[in-house]
């Protein structure tokens, strides 16, 4: 059942289909803004900044989209800000991911109801990675997991999500697949974003990093970190083909992190339709396909109602996984 739930999540990612076609008319955001619910350097920050730049480059936005980093509570601070203070803001979208679904699944957000906001669209799926500093003596994922199995206190793993969040779950999924019985003993240290987590890895405060390929890529390219494993069903293509999967190392663990946006629950239908249309046009552009390939994003093409239904399924599946590994009852 454990791995069945994981594979259902991945199947949903792979089989996602588009639901919106023609561009919406009648609304143009005057002061477009994107909230990244973490500090600079992580996946949510990447989502806002890359999409904002691409929307402007393609002429889908006339103005520069302001990016506001609002860290805290694994996205909970941003969720509360939108629900309580900016519920009718037509200019605002918020970066979301499997980490968002995870916190909703575990009852960690104020009000904790995904229907308090409107789900706009996905922009791709980002596979998880487990990495170490470039100069680490740990060379493979089984070697890291053997150290954890022998002495859980000897290894601290950093991630950009809260305890019980998606970065934490990826480590637990891998450990569970490797036969580590009590995954609750694993030392996970939460930071407000993947960039901060990698900084602590490079400082030697922790021994490993759990994140996603898009947020790890810059640190890999700079030579600061080394990827032990990608949590994908098979090796990725292009520049990412050199990274081994967990599966080929004997660890049957898969972790696909969808990326997309939600909007305030009180946003007008005209504004919502316009944002859905803009993200749809962006996703369908050749330029975005190149961005996806350059950053290791897998296809996930969902908009509007189809995306909302996908998020609901994601929340339910993560609830099941969290119960199976003891995060929630």
Residue 89 Cα distances to 31, 33, 82, 113, 303, angstroms: 10, 10, 8, 19, 20
Q: How many CA atoms lie within 13 A of 67 on its CB side?
A: 19
What confidence tens digit (pLDDT) does each residue in 252-294 have?
A: 999 989 999 999 999 999 999 999 999 999 999 999 999 999 8
CATH fold of 127-249 reads D-Maltodextrin-Binding Protein; domain 2 (3.40.190)
Domain boundaries, the chain: 2-126+256-324, 127-249
> Phi-psi bin for 155: left (phi > 0), alpha (psi -120 to 50), beta?
beta
The reply to whether 127-249 shares the fold of 2-126+256-324 is: yes
pTM: 0.80
Q: Determine the pLDDT at residue 25.
A: 58
pLDDT exceeds cutoff 90 at 110: no
* Model confidence band, residue 5 (pLDDT cutoffs 50, 70, 90): very low
**Does residue 19 surpass a pLDDT of 60?**
no
pLDDT, residue 41, reads 87
pLDDT computed for residue 159 by the predictor: 96
- Provide the CATH number for the domain formed by 2-126+256-324 in this structure: 3.40.190.150
**Residue 262's pLDDT is what?**
98
- Residue pLDDT, tens place only, 24-45: 457 999 999 999 999 998 899 9
């Amino acid at each position: 059942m454990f791995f069945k739930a994981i594979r259902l999540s991945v199947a949903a990612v792979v089989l996602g289909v588009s639901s919106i076609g023609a561009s919406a008319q009648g609304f143009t955001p005057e002061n477009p803004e994107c909230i990244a619910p973490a500090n600079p350097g992580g996946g949510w920050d990447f989502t806002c900044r890359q999409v904002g730049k691409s929307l402007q480059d393609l002429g889908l936005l006339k103005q520069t989209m302001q990016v506001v980093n609002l860290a805290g509570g694994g996205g909970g601070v941003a969720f509360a800000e939108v629900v309580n203070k900016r519920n009718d803001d037509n200019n605002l979208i918020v970066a979301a991911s499997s980490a968002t679904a995870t916190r909703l699944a575990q009852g960690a957000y104020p009000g904790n109801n995904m229907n308090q906001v409107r789900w706009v669209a996905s922009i791709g799926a980002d596979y998880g990675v487990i990495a170490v500093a470039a100069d680490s003596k740990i060379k493979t994922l089984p070697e890291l997991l053997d150290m954890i199995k022998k002495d859980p206190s000897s290894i601290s793993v950093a991630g950009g999500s809260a305890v019980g969040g998606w970065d934490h779950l990826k480590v637990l999924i891998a450990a569970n697949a490797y036969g580590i019985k009590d995954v609750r003993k694993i030392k996970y240290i939460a930071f407000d974003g993947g960039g901060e987590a990698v900084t602590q890895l490079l400082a030697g405060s922790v021994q490993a990093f759990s994140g996603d390929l898009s947020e790890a890529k810059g640190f890999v390219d700079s030579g600061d970190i080394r990827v032990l494993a990608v949590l994908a069903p098979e090796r990725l293509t292009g520049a990412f083909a050199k990274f081994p999967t967990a599966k080929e190392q004997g660890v049957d663990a898969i972790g696909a992190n969808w990326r997309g946006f939600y909007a305030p629950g009180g946003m007008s239908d005209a504004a919502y339709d316009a944002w859905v249309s803009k993200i749809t046009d962006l996703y369908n552009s050749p330029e975005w396909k190149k961005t996806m390939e350059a950053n290791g994003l897998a296809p996930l093409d969902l908009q509007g109602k189809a995306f909302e239904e996908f998020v609901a399924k994601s929340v339910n599946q993560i609830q099941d996984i969290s119960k199976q590994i003891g995060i929630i009852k």
